[in-house]
């Protein structure tokens, strides 16, 4: 069965892991998932571009050398946008990323006004500008995109505050989204951080007329489709963390993920 390694700077990877496991089961196949939470490097969004590039490159190499996966998923929009990473092969191993689903959001929008909610470095970087330009060149027209800094919401997820204080998350979501959604008539918002799907229900209840688009399903489908068929064995999940794995363990248990988190410092092995 395919072995897929998934990583980002913390809890965000879980939104991709869940979709990979769901897609494997619904397709009648199996997959071995390795979830690496690089909590020692959280947040990716605060890192200079060169340092972020080194972290991502060394983490991919470390996962390849230790686990020999069929695919590595960079489960974070921020490095994919800041470093302008494209999906491709590295010595036969698939390397895939997560990016704002612009085309899907455009299909869903009636107003042609779309919000891109992500980390500050992700939405402000040149990578997103290039992605929008490429999309518009291919579409020959396009909606208006509005960049929304959701860094505060990402932190609320990573620290587990969303599990303890929904009211604070709701208030933060209103403060961040109200000026843009109300001011510009936005009807679709992309969840362009893998942490943000954990707040999708809160944001959806506050803005029932807005569609919040999570790209995780499409990412999982594409990755599984590019890997060997998983028709034997059982689905499995192993979880590792580079930093405070006890805090990650606590948050995962609150999310009913009952797997032991093991310490692993990939970057120190380089």
84 HSE (CA, 13 A, CB side): 11
Question: Which residues lie across from 90 on neighbouring strands?
Answer: 93
Class of domain 3-98+217-269: alpha beta
- 173's tokens: 């979501």
Taking the alpha carbons at both ends of the chain, their separation in whole angstroms is 28
Considering the four listed CATH numbers 3.40.50.1860, 3.40.190.10, 3.40.50.1370, 1.10.10.10, the one that applies to the domain covering 102-214 is 3.40.50.1860
- CA-wise closest residue to 16 among 194, 221, 258, 164: 194
Q: Are 59 and 266 in contact (CB under 8 A)?
A: yes
Mean pLDDT of 164-168: 96
Q: What is the pLDDT of residues 19-43, one digit of tens each?
A: 999 999 887 788 999 999 999 999 9
* 169: Cβ contacts below 8 Å, ≥ 6 apart: 153, 156, 161, 162, 199, 202
Report the alpha-carbon distance of residue 51 to residue 35 in Å, rounded: 22
Q: Is the bond into 43 cis (omega within 30 degrees of 0)? A: yes
| The two domains 3-98+217-269 and 102-214 share their CATH topology (first three levels equal) | yes
Mapping DSSP to helix (H, G, I), strand (E, B) and coil, where does residue 170 land?
A: helix
**90 phi and psi, to 5 degrees?**
-125, 100
Nearest-10 Cα torsion for 65, 71, 73, 74: 40
Model pLDDT, residue 204: 97
* Whether pLDDT at 269 is above 60: no
Query: What distances in angstroms separate CA 164 from CA 101, 159, 168, 169, 257, one per listed residue?
Result: 30, 10, 9, 10, 17
Report the alpha-carbon distance of residue 244 to residue 139 in Å, rounded: 44
Q: What percent of the chain has pLDDT over 90?
A: 82
The pTM (predicted TM-score) of the whole model is: 0.92
Q: What is the pLDDT of residues 105-160, one digit of tens each?
A: 999 999 999 999 999 999 998 899 999 999 988 877 779 999 999 999 999 999 99
Question: Inter-axis angle of helices 151-158 and 166-184, to 10 degrees?
Answer: 160
Q: Are 119 and 188 in contact (CB under 8 A)?
A: no
- CA-wise closest residue to 42 among 251, 257, 256: 251
Mean pLDDT of 257-266: 93
**139 phi and psi, to 5 degrees?**
-85, -20
Model pLDDT, residue 270: 44
Question: Which residues lie across from 11 on neighbouring strands?
Answer: none
* Least reliable range by pLDDT among 4-13, 97-106, 139-148, 236-245: 139-148
Report the alpha-carbon distance of residue 65 to residue 87 in Å, rounded: 19
pLDDT confidence band for 268 (50 / 70 / 90): low
Mapping DSSP to helix (H, G, I), strand (E, B) and coil, where does residue 200 land?
A: helix
Q: What is the pLDDT of residues 57-66, one digit of tens each?
A: 999 999 999 9
Model pLDDT, residue 26: 84
Report the alpha-carbon distance of residue 106 to residue 114 in Å, rounded: 7
- 126's tokens: 């040149």
Q: What are the boundaries of each domain within the chain?
A: 3-98+217-269, 102-214
Mapping DSSP to helix (H, G, I), strand (E, B) and coil, where does residue 106 land?
A: helix
Report the alpha-carbon distance of residue 165 to residue 205 in Å, rounded: 16
């Amino acid at each position: 069965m395919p072995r897929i390694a998934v990583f980002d700077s913390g809890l965000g990877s879980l939104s991709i892991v869940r979709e990979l496991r769901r897609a494997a089961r619904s397709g009648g196949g199996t997959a071995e998932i390795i979830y690496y939470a690089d909590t020692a490097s959280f947040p990716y969004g605060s890192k200079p571009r060169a340092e972020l590039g080194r972290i991502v490159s060394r983490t991919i190499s470390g996962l390849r050398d230790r686990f020999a996966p069929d695919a590595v998923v960079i489960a974070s929009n921020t490095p994919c946008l800041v470093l302008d990473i494209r999906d491709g092969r590295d010595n036969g191993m698939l390397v895939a990323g997560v990016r704002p689903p612009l085309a899907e959001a455009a299909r869903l929008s009636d107003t042609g006004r779309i919000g891109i909610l992500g980390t500050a470095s992700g939405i402000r970087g040149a990578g997103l500008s290039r992605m929008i330009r490429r999309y518009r060149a291919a579409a020959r027209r396009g909606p208006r995109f509005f960049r929304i800094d959701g860094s505060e919401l990402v932190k609320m997820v990573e620290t587990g505050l969303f599990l303890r204080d929904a009211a604070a998350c709701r208030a933060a979501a209103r403060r961040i989204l109200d000026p843009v959604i109300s001011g510009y008539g936005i009807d679709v918002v992309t969840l362009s951080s893998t942490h943000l799907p954990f707040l999708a229900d809160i944001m959806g209840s506050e803005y029932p007329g807005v569609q919040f688009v999570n790209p995780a399903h499409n990412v999982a489908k594409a990755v599984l489709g590019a890997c060997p068929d998983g028709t034997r064995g059982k689905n499995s999940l192993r979880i590792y963390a580079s930093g405070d794995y006890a805090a990650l363990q606590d948050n995962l248990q609150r999310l009913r993920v009952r797997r032991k988190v093991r310490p692993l410092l990939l970057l120190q092995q380089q």
